[in-house]
Structure 1
């Protein structure tokens, strides 16, 4: 069930090795079907021929790196990233968002959800297709830009609440059929 990215597999293996080292009975591997995919953590859905990846739970450079690597294997078609800020970076915010922008260069289009001003550092490195703080405006742009075979990746820190954009987009896709 679901699609695992490299980061999820590494976390699972670390947990298993820890249990093994502590001589705690290892759970059966068949339980893996019941533990993944976690909500909002690289959860892949297909809607009307559009592949949507919900990775809205949290954000870091490392998690984006493994996601970009997995996405390159999942889709050869058009790829759109809908991105919000990586929060709690303090003095490193500009540097972090510049690194994030570099990782996003593999996407055909990047849409920035501008509810936190730190996301604007991304636009210093790449030219986003669209920037807005309005859920409706971003959904409208996505509907115009997607077609069958498009992959749309949603990623931001939890505090950005990007899942609101994702849910509105899924509702619009369901309405449009």
Structure 2
């Protein structure tokens, strides 16, 4: 399936091999860099770095209400980092209006699309599985944009569907 390489797809920066994760590592994805990049131009973004959290940084998680969780450091601190992250996301969202899809890293309190643990206040037990704050903002701002977690792209059918959805989204926007 030949697809124009002028179509742009967003990519969680850690999946591109950039060492932007909380531990200073990356989650380089050969599927994204070798297969998806053959079809589309990839535009990288790390919301946590954009928010100024630094590299490395203490691990964070989501706490409280699944519909409006707070972002906090896992070490038990009570500082709510949600506004700092959401402000950085909001500043960048307008730049993503030209994207036709986004590939997100799984399990991240910012980028996770599904199954992100939302913990009880001051507990090690999670109450719900939700989505990361950046993933939620993308869904809200661009409800028709195809979004996928990188781990899903290892399945051929899912990968082919994502490529077709991105192409259709691009055609619809034009």
Calculate the TM-score normalised by the size of structure 2.
Answer: 0.31
User: Of the two, which has the highest radius of gyration?
Assistant: 1
Alignment TM-score, normalising by the size of structure 1:
0.31
